[in-house]
Amino acid sequence: MVQLVAADDRWPADFDRIADVLRRYLGADARRIDHIGSTSVPGLGSKDVIDVQVTAADASASDRIVDTLDQRGWRRVRGSGRDHRVPGLPSDPVQWQKAFFDEPIGERPTHVHVRIEGRANQRYALLFRDYLREHGDAASAYLELKRRLAELTSDPGVYSDTKDPVCDLIYFAAEAWAETTGWDGDGVQIPPS
């Protein structure tokens, strides 16, 4: 079942607690740990699941992260080893590979996406988030789509697969915004020269 809730002011603190735990046991293998997805956008309603992107420097670091998460009770979701390919972006399947985990049993609902730095899917998650943070009207329209879609299907897979092309449309607008603002991937906008 897909259940959306109103934005919760506790989501950033929930992310901080999760990220602190991940940092402790992933160490330097995690280049960065970011709050992504709808719960990372202030005021945006969402499923009550914190999405976390763990960025690895390379495939070896990613493998070590996956092993550590497995050992720490995170539950790897089989069959979710890649993100959907975005039309017009690199078609190389390597650009869309990831490892995907649910929280350990009994913990706060969380999804951890392990992606490699510099790959298309790693950039996508950060740019999508930052664009929605800066464009409240786009975030509101996205929420309305999610509400209507949740009314049409209770299947989380259908919900996600149907939402992907809409996210891509937002992403294309985000790429244009990134180019004009000098967005650098850390949420910082550099004035164009």
131-162 per-position pLDDT tens digit: 999 999 999 999 999 999 999 999 999 999 99
Q: How confident is the model at residue 78 (pLDDT cuts 50, 70, 90)?
A: confident
pTM of the predicted model, to two decimals? 0.94
| Residue 44 φ then ψ, to 5° | -95, 120
Question: Going from the N-terminus, what domains does the chain have, and what CATH number goes with each?
Answer: 11-180 (3.30.460.10)
113: closest CA among 168, 174, 35?
35
Mean pLDDT for 161-180 is 97
Half-sphere exposure of 101 (CA within 13 A, CB side): 25
The reported pLDDT for the residue numbered 193 is 42
Q: Quick one: what percent of the chain has pLDDT higher than 70?
A: 96
The reported pLDDT for the residue numbered 112 is 98
Pull the structure tokens for residue 134.
């800066």
Helix (H) or strand (E) holding 65: helix 59-71
- Which tens digits make up the pLDDT trace of 83-96? 999 999 999 999 99
Distance CA 170, CA 177 (A): 11
The reported pLDDT for the residue numbered 187 is 60
The reported pLDDT for the residue numbered 75 is 97
Q: Is 179 helix (H, G, I), strand (E, B) or coil?
A: helix
63 φψ region: left (φ > 0), alpha (ψ -120 to 50), beta (else): alpha
The reported pLDDT for the residue numbered 185 is 83
